[in-house]
Structure 1
């Protein structure tokens, strides 16, 4: 049940401080997440490229940039229309989908922090337990393909992220179905629109800031998004009642 937990809505500063608290308490898990995530992702890229030779083809295509964007665009369209590139892209999309449940582990970890329970490395893999793995995978496939169509507009992509930001924790903590969770998420967005939008922007900025300023630092900041979602979820929703 969604409700206000305080006489007044907690401010954005409270939500942000709470998110950074969870992130700071779990830096080892942030690092392990990134090592596992990028380790799997880069391995798939390497193995797939041995078969499809897409990286070398992209390097060759990039050389056309010196001839102008029209020439580069023409060669790029030729490259992406090839069967090799399409197979390569499908493998990367499939890998991204497979890795998604790794994010659910942080919800388990943050909840255990609240309950003052001992954290274990296997908590990070809780999203892969049993049939729940298929549930989370199914949701992410649905989410990803809508996101993929909205990303060229940017604005629609941000709206889609905001409309679905609580779906995963609602599925994880309260076993809600996808469309039921989206409905609750939409109601939350109307009540906490400013807080949610500001937190999305801060989370995205901080998530990639580590890579821009300190390459290795990105391994710690990349999973920060999950801490922000959990902090928002705790502020907006109550599972009592």
Structure 2
């Protein structure tokens, strides 16, 4: 993120936004709209999206590590990169692209991104452990959400708060709180789903 922000002049744009904010909120909003239409802002958005999509299979590596911890098997560094193995890699990045596009469209609303996270929270582990397609996984996730709505919503809220506490601690804390989100998903997944389905 910092590399692309530097490459496309986003830090300079941030300074312009700060200066506009000192004038008034209207000036800030006008400047943000103006800067959002620039070519560099667009390139930064594409680069950030591509990076997030490419890094998505690391989440599956965390699930593999948690599974090995449950089975008391030896953990290897290669387990973290298990989502990059074979042709399933393309399934996972396709899902990540699909997920981020929907999330990006709904991000301006308050409730829809939260709903989207709840509807898709188990899709990655279902695809990974049960070898289901994206839409089969969403269907199974939706059934689980209907049956365990309160538990899932509470766990998502706690995990989101905990995850962003890490970002609030000067980004350094995110390195320690990032796996918590995956651990919460894995814990709920193994409690709710039977892989014999």
| TM-score of the aligned structures, taking structure 1 as reference length | 0.77
CA distance in 2, matches of 1:215, 1:74: 29
* Deviant stretches of 4+, over 2 Å: 210-218
Displacement of 1:170 after TM fit? 0.5
Displacement of 1:150 after TM fit? 1.4
Displacement of 1:57 after TM fit? 2.5
Match of 1:3?
none
Residue number among 187, 194, 197 corresponding to 1:231 in the alignment: 187
Match of 2:73?
117
Greater shift in the superposed pair: 163-172 or 67-76: 67-76
Cα-to-partner distance string for 1:177-199 (whole Å, 9 max, x where unaligned) = 01111111111001000000000
Structure 1 residue 45 corresponds to structure 2 residue 1:
no
User: Cα 1:218–1:53, aligned 2, differ >3 Å: closer, same or farther?
Assistant: closer
Size of the aligned set, in residue pairs, is 197
Match of 2:53?
97
Match of 1:133?
89
Cα-to-partner distance string for 1:53-73 (whole Å, 9 max, x where unaligned) = 222122123201111111111
Q: 1:104–1:124: 8 Å Cα contact kept in structure 2? A: yes
Match of 1:33?
none
* Runs (5+) with no aligned partner, structure 2: none
Displacement of 1:214 after TM fit? 7.3
Alignment of 1:1-241 (within 5 A): 41-42=1-2, 44-45=3-4, 49-50=6-7, 52-213=8-169, 216-240=172-196
* Runs (5+) with no aligned partner, structure 1: 1-40
CA distance in 2, matches of 1:167, 1:159: 14
SS at match of 1:153: coil
Displacement of 1:240 after TM fit? 2.5
CA distance in 2, matches of 1:113, 1:130: 23
Displacement of 1:213 after TM fit? 4.9
Q: 1:164–1:185: 8 Å Cα contact kept in structure 2? A: yes
Q: Considering only aligned residues, what root-mean-square deviation do their CA atoms show, in Å?
A: 1.5
Q: 1:169–1:230: 8 Å Cα contact kept in structure 2? A: yes
CA distance in 2, matches of 1:149, 1:214: 28
